[in-house]
Amino acid sequence: MFQIRKICCIGAGYVGGPTCSVIASMCPEIKVTVVDVNEARIKAWNSDTLPIYEPGLDEVVLSCRGKNLFFSTDIDSAIKEADLVFISVLSNPEFLAEGTAVKDLKEPDRVLIGGDETTEGQKAIQALCEVYEHWVPKSRIITTNTWSSELSKLAANAFLAQRISSINSISALCESTGADVEEVARAIGMDQRIGSKFLKASVGFGGSCFQKDVLNLVYLCEALNLPEVASYWQQVIDMNEYQRKRFACRIIDCLFNTVTGKKIALLGFSFKKDTGDTRESSSIYISKYLMDEGANLHIYDPKVLKEQIIQDLSQPSISGDNPQRVLELVTVTSDPYEACKSAHALVICTEWDMFKDLDYEKIHNQMLKPAFIFDGRRVLDHLHPQLQSLGFQIETIGKKVTTRLPFTPSGGVPRITLNEPPNKKSKA
């Protein structure tokens, strides 16, 4: 039986880097080389500061780098000497969740390997199975044909995104009726047929996979003349955009129908906690809507670099033909208290645990009054009595506000409106 001794992974990003680092860690007799055309990225993988943040990844890389794990820009040589080549692990769809990627790799629910139904294809599948069998039980390794493998990946992420959009749609109903979406989610999640995972209402899902994979599914359905199926999955994306826009409109509405010239502290920019990844983060779109209204944003995130935040907000899809407005309206700070100082409102967009432990009495004393908190992740639910006693006006996802401060509308009309249909994104 053919045995794999050398592996080459093309792509040193969020998938290739962690996946092959864990393979090297679990298979010390296999030489694993991760290659990329991006010299700066490879240099970072070979340094003490890795290019991505992932809990537990530093320890894994340090334990085998220079022994059987190597990062290089010499792509041709790595491919020539390899017994197996991963192209960003596309031959072996990953089911990693950022923030728990190392754990997901070491203790996977399943490993899915797809290949051609030919003699050569089956040999390749078997060889890759033997790599994973170093630490994954055979019962968790699934082998399929290539189409089943790829569709399983798209369907898995589409189903998870659908659950998030479903509970977010219920959150809007809860805010209009007096129900609490957390209580509803708990009640339906105890039904074993439904389960409790991915029923956390928020400002919407982000990350590199959910939207991309749902849109790939939409495109595939349209290409195969299945318009009803395409329309069904497109609604998952539309609901996600609606939730982001709805949250931004709520901020504007509560701040006396205008945020022009007002300082707003935005806490959290990564698409979720325990990662520095900002791809498709809801924070980007919340920022866009508030910048469209002329708000002055002061942004803090414990893991996202200032350069990344400015780059994300300067994209043409976010700033149009006026990227200069980002420099005028956005300040990135390394201190959450500085971000909140003299702010009209504090907006939580990422569920970083540290936001639960901030000194909110200090923050309230430094903010302009009335001081608003908009909790887009429901991380401060347990602090509501304390925050209200301090004088905060609290707005949160999926829960009706019983009392609001009275105000006289300014007469201004926000430039964003929920009546507008969601912008259709180009299909992947």
Q: Is 224 annotated as belonging to a binding site? A: no
Round the CA-based radius of gyration of the chain to a whole number and report it.
24
- CA distances 387 to 349, 376, 380, 392, Å, are 18, 16, 9, 6
Q: Is 201 annotated as belonging to a binding site? A: yes
Q: Is 157 annotated as belonging to a binding site? A: yes
Q: Is 27 annotated as belonging to a binding site? A: no
Q: Is 140 annotated as belonging to a binding site? A: no
Order of strands, sheet of 296-300, starting from the edge strand that comes earlier in the sequence: 330-332, 296-300, 263-267, 345-348, 372-375, 393-396
Q: Is 269 annotated as belonging to a binding site? A: no
Distance CA 230, CA 22 (A): 37
Whether residue 370 is preceded by a cis peptide bond, meaning omega within 30 degrees of 0, is: yes
Distance CA 68, CA 88 (A): 19
Distance CA 127, CA 191 (A): 41
Q: Is 355 annotated as belonging to a binding site? A: no
Q: Is 11 annotated as belonging to a binding site? A: yes
Q: State the catalytic residues.
A: 209
Q: Is 16 annotated as belonging to a binding site? A: yes
376 DSSP assignment: S
Q: Is 247 annotated as belonging to a binding site? A: no
**Tokens (6 digits) for 91:** 């031959």
Q: Is 294 annotated as belonging to a binding site? A: no
Distance CA 262, CA 296 (A): 6
Q: Is 210 annotated as belonging to a binding site? A: yes
Give, in degrees to the nearest 5, the angle at Cα 353 between 349 and 359: 90
Annotated binding-site positions for substrate: 94-98, 153-157, 193, 200-206, 271-272, 377
Annotated binding-site positions: 11-16, 36, 41, 94-98, 153-157, 193, 200-206, 209-212, 271-272, 279, 377
Annotated binding-site positions for NAD(+): 11-16, 36, 41, 98, 209-212, 279
